[in-house]
Structure 1
Amino acid sequence: MKIPLSNLSFSLLNEDIDISAFRCGEPDLTEFLIEDALENQAARLSVTRIVLHEGQVVGFFTLTNDCIIRKSVSDDDGEEWYPYPHYPALKIARLATHQEFEGRGIGRAMLLKTVAIAMRLSQYVGCRMITVDAKPKSEGFYLKYGFQKALTNKKKDTIPLYRDFYRSYQEAEKGMSL
């Protein structure tokens, strides 16, 4: 059964949150959360947010700065007149749902929160895209939520995806005015 967004809370990872019981289907993601996330956050390399439901950690996502090569972006995205070789982006460095809560809307909630963060960030610094290097078995999840494959791919073990969140915002705004 889906968990309503209103029943989830999001907070920055800190030493007071017990993450020791978190387990997801990707052991390297669990290991990152438990062993590396706080250290990376303290070093200002990434920021991790925890998703809680009834006091239990049900998911987490980690964000960092990124850019995407302009040639990797579809002609329908970005801006034709933009003169630089890269678009500024916010990268989803890690995103995982506790294995007991998969399929209950936690991943979707984390993506919604990421888009909200990107929109807020873009009011202070240039940020147009959200990027993720998806594991092959996670590709469908991101494609379902509007991400597209980057047009150039030099990676072998992950699939670079992006979403022009500002374009989506513009399209939604036009739709609302009808």
Structure 2
Amino acid sequence: MKIPFRDLLFSFLNEDIDISLFRCREPDLTEFLIEDALENQVARLSVTRLVSYEGQIAGFFTLTNDCIIRKGVSDDDGEEWYPYPHYPALKIARLATHQEFEGRGIGRAMLLKTMAIAMRLSHYVGCRMITVDSKPDSEGFYLKYGFQKVLVKQKANAVPLYRDFYRSYHEAEKDMSLPLSSFDDSTR
């Protein structure tokens, strides 16, 4: 049964939250959350948000800055007139759903929140794309939500993907039947 977005609580990772019971299918993602995420956040290398449902951590996602080479972007994305070799981007560095919540819409909710964060960020600094180096087993998940493969050299053990969120913003609003701005509550 899908969990409605409105029933989820988004919060920043902090030292007062017990994350020790979080488990996902990828041990390295669980390990990152428990052992490295807070340290990276304190060092301003990335920011991790937790997604909770009824008091239990249902997922987490970690964001950082990025850029994507212009040659890696489809001609249908970006701007033809843009003269620089890279587009500014927001990177999904990690995204994981607790095993008990798989298939209940938590991943989709985290992508919606990421899209809203990217839109808000783009009001303050240049940010046009969302990028992710997907694990091969997760590629289909991202493709389902409008991400595309980067058109240049592929990394080993990861599938570089991107989404031009600015171009697809209105399209996404139609798909979701709610304005993305409604997901951009900085207190959630």
TM-score (norm 2): 0.91
Counterpart for residue 126 of structure 1: 126
2:169 alignment partner AA: Y
2:81 alignment partner AA: W
Cα distance between partner residues in 2 of 1:154 and 1:103: 28
Counterpart for residue 77 of structure 1: 77
Change (3 A) 1:174 1:32: closer
Change (3 A) 1:81 1:171: farther
Cα distance between partner residues in 2 of 1:53 and 1:173: 24
Q: Alpha-carbon deviations, 1:106-163, whole Å to 9, x = none?
A: 0000000000000000000000000000000000000000000000123111000000
Cα distance between partner residues in 2 of 1:148 and 1:164: 9
Counterpart for residue 184 of structure 2: none
Query: What is the RMSD of the two structures over their aligned residues, measured on CA atoms?
Result: 1.6
Q: CA deviation at 1:58?
A: 0.6
Task: Extract structure 1 runs of 4+ deviating beyond 4 A.
Answer: 170-176
1:82 alignment partner AA: Y
Q: How does 1:146-157 map to 2 (within 5 A)?
A: 146-157=146-157
SS in structure 2 at match of 1:62: strand
The answer to whether the 8 A contact 1:153-1:159 is kept is: no
1:165 alignment partner AA: F
Counterpart for residue 93 of structure 1: 93
Cα distance between partner residues in 1 of 2:114 and 2:94: 12
Counterpart for residue 113 of structure 1: 113
Q: Does 1:141 align with 2:141?
A: yes
Change (3 A) 1:54 1:170: closer
2:2 alignment partner AA: K
Counterpart for residue 60 of structure 1: 60
SS in structure 1 at match of 2:108: helix
Q: CA deviation at 1:169?
A: 1.7
Q: Mind listing any 5+ residue stretches in structure 1 that lack a counterpart?
A: none
Cα distance between partner residues in 2 of 1:22 and 1:164: 31
Number of corresponding residues? 176
The answer to whether the 8 A contact 1:29-1:96 is kept is: yes
Change (3 A) 1:61 1:174: closer
Cα distance between partner residues in 1 of 2:172 and 2:30: 35
Cα distance between partner residues in 1 of 2:64 and 2:118: 11
